């Protein structure tokens, strides 16, 4: 049972490039989410999904796309990277939503946009 896995661990992009951050979980969780973590600002929700085929925006969705074609995978796409997207990105999953249930976090992806 690997839990939540994320790839890559580190990435450097140039402004305007696109890329996909991968996230997978093997716990059969319906709820998955993406956060970005910036110094002094905690974790801010980018997008979330309550099940395969269902996604919705969080607090800071601009510049990011997601899809959920399977229960296991929840990739995050940066369409045209900007320096403001330099951050650490965490994927998380849980059996339930924010109404009560432990969220399991992946190890994170540190992204630098030059």
SS3 93: strand
Selection from 97, 84, 91 nearest residue 66 by Cα: 91
Shortest Å, Cβ 59 to other proteins: 8
Q: Which of 60, 87, 90, 111 binds other proteins (CB under 8 A)?
A: 90
Residue 58 interacts with other proteins (CB under 8 A): yes or no: yes
Which pair of tokens denotes residue 14?
């140039």
- Tell me how far apart the alpha carbons of residues 107 and 104 are, in angstroms, rounded to a whole number: 10
DSSP state, 80?
S
Q: Which of 2, 14, 28, 102 binds other proteins (CB under 8 A)?
A: 102
Shortest Å, Cβ 90 to other proteins: 5
Nearer to other proteins, 15 or 97 (CB): 97
Selection from 80, 78, 76 nearest residue 92 by Cα: 76
Nearer to other proteins, 12 or 80 (CB): 12
- Tell me how far apart the alpha carbons of residues 98 and 104 are, in angstroms, rounded to a whole number: 13
Give the interface with other proteins as residue ranges (CB under 8 A): 4, 31, 33, 35, 40-45, 48, 50, 56, 58-59, 90, 92, 97-103, 105-108
């Amino acid at each position: 049972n690997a839990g939540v896995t994320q790839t890559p661990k580190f990435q450097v992009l140039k402004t305007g490039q696109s890329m996909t951050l991968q996230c997978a979980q093997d716990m059969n969780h319906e709820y998955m989410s993406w956060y970005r973590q910036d110094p002094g600002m905690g974790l801010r929700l980018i997008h979330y999904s309550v099940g395969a085929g269902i996604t919705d925006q969080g607090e800071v969705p601009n510049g990011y796309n997601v899809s959920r074609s399977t229960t296991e995978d929840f990739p995050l796409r940066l369409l045209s990277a900007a320096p403001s997207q330099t951050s650490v990105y965490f994927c998380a999953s849980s059996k339930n939503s924010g109404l009560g249930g432990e969220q399991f976090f992946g190890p994170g992806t540190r992204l630098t946009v030059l």
